[in-house]
């Protein structure tokens, strides 16, 4: 998963189609729990582009978006937020896939 490099990149990317930002941190055990199955989720949802957002590096962006728990996911399509799966709880592959499936409706 490509890492977000700047706020400018975020502003540009969110205007594309089917973008999902994953807010995470290297030190977060619930975030690391996702590592084994994230490649599968990306492969099974190839109509979406996924970007890793380091919560510590982009703390102001997290505040602006109301992302106060990680791991969390926020989806955009052509500049509009289309969905969010934001909380501090550990997430399963099935829960993340259900969130993504809900974006397609």
**Cβ distance 22 to 53 under 8 Å?**
yes
Catalytic residue among 4, 20, 22, 31: 31
**Cβ distance 96 to 39 under 8 Å?**
no
Catalytic residue among 4, 28, 96, 100: 28
**Catalytic residue at 62?**
no
**Catalytic residue at 28?**
yes
Cα(82)–Cα(90) distance, integer angstroms: 22
The residues annotated with a catalytic role in the active site are 28, 31
């Amino acid at each position: 998963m490509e890492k977000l490099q700047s706020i400018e990149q975020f502003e540009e990317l969110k205007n594309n189609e089917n973008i999902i930002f994953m807010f995470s941190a290297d030190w977060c055990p619930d975030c690391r729990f996702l590592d084994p199955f994230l490649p599968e989720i990306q492969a099974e949802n190839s109509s979406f582009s996924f970007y890793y957002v380091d919560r510590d590096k982009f703390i102001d962006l997290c505040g602006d978006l109301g992302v106060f728990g990680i791991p969390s996911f926020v989806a955009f399509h052509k500049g509009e937020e289309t969905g969010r799966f934001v909380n501090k709880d550990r997430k399963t592959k099935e829960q993340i896939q259900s969130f993504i499936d809900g974006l397609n409706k």
